[in-house]
């Protein structure tokens, strides 16, 4: 008879999912020796090796693959049980576990703050990652829901748009194009663009747009953060294309300007995404409903309030 503990199964599932002891330790907030000890005890319990080292990477053995299949099923059932119990408690002591793509982090905390003001007893876990990582977290079922731009098709997910996500061309305020209107797309071929990494939703939308308009652009710096692009544009290194939501502060304070380019803004949307057939807790369902019904109006009011405060500050300083 097997004598396994839930702790051992959770540690094993995390190591197997990451194919890494160190990354599992980071996720579980454990030391790497503690993770190794749990795996060693588990292997002793089943009397079979679960991992094998090939080069510098670990891989599941045949026994490990079998255990990984069953451990995911067991942990999923426990998660469903926890959700069912949370539903019985209602919103009194709910938990919300979400992930957002990096560009959504400029507005997601504002929405979470509004939601938490109404439900003061809930706890929130917010993970900010790139698009690939967020999709993996959905696939591994370790989050309730995600916020991202256009989700990829063909995955076992359900997505609903809750807010517009316009992509704009930004420039430093002293750029020669700032006082121009209806700038032709082909004129941008004379400029250098600072871009996100391949695979980024913003990068993909940008590339599709220029391909549709038979325009080629020159790319300078490539980075995995929008913040770096904003700073580089302000420094005069080139132009950038980004969600207007991510540049709201810089636009309001005049550190960046939106160029009036034909075909822009590229109209996209923000989506709330869950796994298909995911059983949401009462808290997660309430937050999803909150996004779908109120997010756009709340963000518009926040934008107007920020602009008003900035205007007052400028008047006070003059």
The residue extents of the domains of the chain are: 6-85, 90-164+270-317, 167-267
The predicted structure's pLDDT at residue 311: 56
Residue ranges of the chain whose pLDDT lies below 70 = 1, 86-93, 302-318
Strands 257-258 and 167-171 turn out to be antiparallel
To the nearest 10°, the Cα dihedral for 158, 162, 164, 165?
A: -60
The predicted structure's pLDDT at residue 152: 80
The predicted structure's pLDDT at residue 55: 81
CATH no. of 167-267: 3.40.190.10
The predicted structure's pLDDT at residue 240: 94
Domains 90-164+270-317 and 167-267 share a fold: yes
Query: Mind listing the pLDDT tens digit for each residue in 167-226?
Result: 999 999 999 999 999 999 999 999 999 998 887 888 888 999 999 999 888 888 898 888
Strands 157-164 and 192-196 turn out to be unpaired
Q: How many CB atoms lie within 10 A of CB 226?
A: 20
The predicted structure's pLDDT at residue 229: 94
Query: How far is residue 99's CA from residue 82's CA, in Å, rounded to a whole number?
Result: 19
The predicted structure's pLDDT at residue 153: 78
Q: Distances in Å between the alpha carbon of 228 and those of 100, 127, 234, 239?
A: 18, 20, 10, 12
The predicted structure's pLDDT at residue 77: 83
Domain 90-164+270-317: give its CATH architecture.
3-Layer(aba) Sandwich (3.40)
What phi and psi, each to the nearest 5 degrees, are found at residue 192?
-100, 135
Query: How far is residue 148's CA from residue 144's CA, in Å, rounded to a whole number?
Result: 14
The predicted structure's pLDDT at residue 52: 92
The predicted structure's pLDDT at residue 127: 92
**Residues 6+ away with beta carbon under 8 Å from 1:** none
CATH no. of 6-85: 1.10.10.10
């Amino acid at each position: 008879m097997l004598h396994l503990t839930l702790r051992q199964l959770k540690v094993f599932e995390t190591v197997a999912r990451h194919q890494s002891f160190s990354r599992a330790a980071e996720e579980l907030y454990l030391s790497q020796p503690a993770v190794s000890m749990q795996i060693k005890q588990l292997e002793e319990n089943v009397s079979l090796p679960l991992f094998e080292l090939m080069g510098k990477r670990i891989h599941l053995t045949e026994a490990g693959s079998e255990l990984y299949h069953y451990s995911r099923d067991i942990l999923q059932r426990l998660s469903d049980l926890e959700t069912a119990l949370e539903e019985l408690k209602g919103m009194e002591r709910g938990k919300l576990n979400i992930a957002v793509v990096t560009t959504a982090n400029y507005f997601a905390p504002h929405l979470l703050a509004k939601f938490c003001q109404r439900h003061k007893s809930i706890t929130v876990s917010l993970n900010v990652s790139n698009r690939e990582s967020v999709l993996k977290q959905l696939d591994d079922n370790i989050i309730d829901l995600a916020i991202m731009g256009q989700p990829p098709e063909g995955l076992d997910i359900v997505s609903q748009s809750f807010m517009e996500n316009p992509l704009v061309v930004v420039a430093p305020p002293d750029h020669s194009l700032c006082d121009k209107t209806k700038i032709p797309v082909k004129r941008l071929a004379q400029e250098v663009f600072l871009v996100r990494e391949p695979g980024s939703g913003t990068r993909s939308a940008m590339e599709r747009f220029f391909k549709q308009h038979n325009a080629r652009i020159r790319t300078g710096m490539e980075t995995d953060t929008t913040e770096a692009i904003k700073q580089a544009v302000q420094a005069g290194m080139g132009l950038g294309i980004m969600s207007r939501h991510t540049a709201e502060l810089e636009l309001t304070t005049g550190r960046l300007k939106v160029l009036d380019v034909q075909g822009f803004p590229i109209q996209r949307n923000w989506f709330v995404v869950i796994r298909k057939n995911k059983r949401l807790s009462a808290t997660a369902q309430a937050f999803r409903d909150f996004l779908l019904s109120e997010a756009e109006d709340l963000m518009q009011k926040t934008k107007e309030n920020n602009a008003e405060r900035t205007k007052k500050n400028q008047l006070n300083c003059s």
